[in-house]
Chain A
Amino acid sequence: MTESPILRAEDLVKVYPIRGTGQELRAAAGVSFTLDRGETLGIVGESGCGKSTTGRLLVRLEEPTSGRIELAGEDVTRVRGRALRAVHRRIQLVFQDPFASLNPRLTVAQTLEEVLRVYQLAGDKAGRRRRVQELLGMVGLRTGFAERYPHQMSGGQCQRVGIARALAVEPQVVVLDEPVSALDVSVQSEVMNLLTRLRDELELSYVFISHDLGMVRHISDRIVVMYLGRIVELGPWRAVSDEPLHPYTRALQEAVPLADPDLEAGREIEPLRGEVPDPANPPSGCVFHPRCPLAEDVCRTEDPALLELLPGHQAACHVAAREVARAGRPA
């Protein structure tokens, strides 16, 4: 028997009303995927693609308009109160901005102890103290950091505290929303290595959300590519990042400059035309068609379904579906 996924998102939709206009914005427009135990699922896309909204729905910071979220087989889509707190013991979120996500008036120890107290973990005060030291050790901070305030720490150190806070409840799943984007390059690698080590040691499952395809490629087992609230491609990390099926993924991959002048010199890159359309007024048919170099008539009228075109590798593209069926690979 195969183990059931630790997390399942089924047709998640999140609609926000746009104040004063009567219009609405579909930030997530039918997002479905599973996360296996111990797996890292990367979600990549540009601003407005719905990746952060999806992350907030998964940890139930927001309730989806429709769809279903299962955590270890249990429907948690609409749980509230105590049941929601129980959900938060199993799934946690790490935010992008390490400074803004910490209370500036609390020391590191106070921040972590508060989480332990709220969830009634680690016993009494002395137990919580011990647990704080243990958590700091896990994220590679010296014990002296317990008494520091956020302004006394660097961005990388604050992000380590953010990770320690998420780990304080011993979650099974951690949703990481742009966890290294605000950090200097020389600090990003440390945090990336820390996340990888913690995942392996604590048998965590990650949803790693980022605009940075290079980072997503580095840490993910499978990658989801989102565009305008939809998943356009989903598959194994190497296939999605290096041999994408969807023309948007290909454009994204080509647009990312590689830190290697020899590889860059050999790339003939035609920039993707246009900009992401207004999500309140998405194009007909395939939402990518106005920018797509491969768009055909059918793309303007019919929204392509997300189909498994290669084993374990899905894409929502009429042209890719036809080409893979014909030639075994995209055009």
Chain B
Amino acid sequence: MTAVLSVRGLTTVLHLADGPVEVVKSVSFDIGAGETVALVGESGSGKSMTMLSVMGLHPQPTAEIVGGEVLLDDVDLVGADERYRRSVRGSSMAMVYQDPMTSLNPLMRIGAQIEEVLTAHGTSRRAAQARVLEVLAEVGIPQPARAARAFPHEFSGGMRQRVVIAMAIALRPALLIADEPTTALDVTIQQQIIALVRRLQAETGTAVMWITHDLGVVARVASRLLVMYAGRLVETGSTRAVFARPEHPYTAGLIAAIPPARVAERAPLRQIPGAPPDAAHAPSGCPFHPRCPEVVPRCREEMPPLTQRPGSAAACWVPPSQWSVPADAERGQAS
């Protein structure tokens, strides 16, 4: 599979009053054409900062990329000038945020906003106007001509998110980065948006990077997942393999913390003591060690590398065969 995006050793720091803090720590991954990959993490894991860095939209100068490469069509965006980066944003890769109003101007008609994205990348005004109506219809907005003349506040949250998706796909980007696009929406609307993204993907072959904290969404949308903790990737692999046999205790804990579906007997949920650290206070060695049931002395000293296995990788000194809490422990019995 050809990679649409190759991220190599991406490292981003935040310049805080006490000095620089690494919030994205040597993150590497590929996304293949047409693939859906989930980037999973809790608050402070660095998942959003990773993708903002990929897009070149990290809040500068507070945030700074200090290492690594972001290869889009084999061109390194980190080293490229801002004009080139701007030219690929929107056309080759586009981002959808949790809050649609991040991307929408409240004072501008919706059609004009989408048109602006198109003309900024060289589409003629006339062609852009036609494309606006087409793309609004593609994302399932009724009466596109009327919608194009409306302002964002005239739409519900779900419809606004459709507008933002229309804006993001208007130039048929090879990669769509969706940062918690359904977290603020009701679950029946979330399902509509998931179905929409899937349909667009099937029609256009866009690759999708879905950033989420919700393992249910991961299981529904992604063929592969990347698990992030305290600025690092701690596990990657195919969604099915990772859910069936997690190789990092954090991933295993997260999966077992969720009430299992369709069980007849309800058992207490797996607990992970403590709370996710923020990057500024990440513990030494493996950042998960203070919360980990499998901790050994080495974990406190040394960060384990993300060890590649066929189709998966995990950053843990203790192999699952030696865990004291097996990955499938404490799960209720399926009926």
Task: Tell whether A and B belong to one assembly.
Answer: yes
- 10 smallest A-B Cβ distances: which pairs? A257-B216, A218-B259, A189-B269, A189-B257, A257-B220, A46-B186, A255-B191, A154-B275, A259-B215, A186-B272
A271 touches B254 (CB 8 A): no
Of all chain A residues, the one with the shortest Cβ separation from B261 is A258
Q: Bound state CA distance, A271 and B255, in angstroms?
A: 25
A255 touches B188 (CB 8 A): yes
Q: Is B213 part of the contact surface with A, judged by Cβ < 8 Å?
A: yes
B158 touches A185 (CB 8 A): no
Question: B257 to chain A: which residues have CB within 8 Å?
Answer: 185-186, 188-189
Q: How far is the CB of A180 from chain B (nearest CB, A)?
A: 11
Q: Bound state CA distance, A154 and B276, in angstroms?
A: 9
Near B by CB (< 8 A), chain A positions 16-65 give 46-47
Question: A238 to chain B: which residues have CB within 8 Å?
Answer: 264
Q: How far is the CB of A330 from chain B (nearest CB, A)?
A: 18
B186 touches A215 (CB 8 A): no
Q: List residues of A whose CB falls within 8 A of some B CB.
A: 46-47, 154-157, 184-190, 192-193, 196, 211, 213-215, 217-219, 238, 242, 251-252, 254-264, 269, 271-272, 275-276
Pick the contact of A155: B194, B220, B269, B275 (CB < 8 A). B275
Near A by CB (< 8 A), chain B positions 267-283 give 268-276
Q: Bound state CA distance, A71 and B157, in angstroms?
A: 38
Q: How far is the CB of B100 from chain A (nearest CB, A)?
A: 14
Most buried by B among A154, A156, A189, A251: A189
Near A by CB (< 8 A), chain B positions 168-203 give 186-192, 194-195
A263 touches B261 (CB 8 A): yes
Near A by CB (< 8 A), chain B positions 128-178 give 156, 158-159
Q: Is B243 part of the contact surface with A, judged by Cβ < 8 Å?
A: yes
A–B pairs, 19, beta carbons within 8 Å? A47-B186, A157-B275, A184-B42, A184-B43, A184-B213, A185-B215, A186-B253, A186-B276, A192-B269, A211-B187, A218-B259, A255-B190, A256-B187, A257-B219, A257-B221, A263-B262, A264-B219, A272-B188, A276-B186
Q: How far is the CB of A200 from chain B (nearest CB, A)?
A: 11
Of all chain B residues, the one with the shortest Cβ separation from A256 is B187
Question: B42 to chain A: which residues have CB within 8 Å?
Answer: 184-186
Question: B255 to chain A: which residues have CB within 8 Å?
Answer: 259
Q: Is B298 part of the contact surface with A, judged by Cβ < 8 Å?
A: no
Query: Which secondary structure characterizes the binding site on chain B?
Result: helix
B204-239 contact mask (Cβ, 8 Å, vs A): 1 or 0:
000000000111111111000000000000000001
Q: Apart from A154-B275, A258-B220, what are 4 other A-B pairs with CB-CB below 8 Å?
A: A185-B215, A258-B219, A258-B261, A259-B218
Most buried by B among A190, A219, A251: A190
Q: Bound state CA distance, A252 and B187, in angstroms?
A: 7
Question: B220 to chain A: which residues have CB within 8 Å?
Answer: 257-258, 264
Of all chain A residues, the one with the shortest Cβ separation from B43 is A184
Q: Bound state CA distance, A313 and B266, in angstroms?
A: 20
Question: A154 to chain B: which residues have CB within 8 Å?
Answer: 274-275
Q: How far is the CB of B2 from chain A (nearest CB, A)?
A: 25
B272 touches A189 (CB 8 A): yes
Q: Bound state CA distance, A155 and B44, in angstroms?
A: 13
Q: Bound state CA distance, A256 and B218, in angstroms?
A: 12
Q: Is B15 part of the contact surface with A, judged by Cβ < 8 Å?
A: no
A259 touches B188 (CB 8 A): no
Question: B253 to chain A: which residues have CB within 8 Å?
Answer: 186
Question: A263 to chain B: which residues have CB within 8 Å?
Answer: 219, 261-262
Q: Bound state CA distance, A124 and B272, in angstroms?
A: 38
Q: Is B86 part of the contact surface with A, judged by Cβ < 8 Å?
A: no
Q: Bound state CA distance, A217 and B156, in angstroms?
A: 29
Question: B158 to chain A: which residues have CB within 8 Å?
Answer: 275
Q: Is B296 part of the contact surface with A, judged by Cβ < 8 Å?
A: no
B276 touches A255 (CB 8 A): no
B244-261 contact mask (Cβ, 8 Å, vs A): 1 or 0:
100000100111011111
A214 touches B254 (CB 8 A): no
Q: Bound state CA distance, A271 and B186, in angstroms?
A: 12
- Given that A252-B187, A261-B239 are known contacts, is A189 also in contact with B270, CB under 8 Å in the complex? yes
Q: How far is the CB of B83 from chain A (nearest CB, A)?
A: 39
Q: Bound state CA distance, A184 and B277, in angstroms?
A: 11
Question: B254 to chain A: which residues have CB within 8 Å?
Answer: 185-186
Q: Bound state CA distance, A10 and B250, in angstroms?
A: 46
Q: How far is the CB of B334 from chain A (nearest CB, A)?
A: 9
Q: Bound state CA distance, A157 and B273, in angstroms?
A: 11
Question: B244 to chain A: which residues have CB within 8 Å?
Answer: 262
Q: How far is the CB of A97 from chain B (nearest CB, A)?
A: 14
A217 touches B259 (CB 8 A): yes
Question: A157 to chain B: which residues have CB within 8 Å?
Answer: 275
Pick the contact of A259: B191, B195, B243, B274 (CB < 8 A). B243
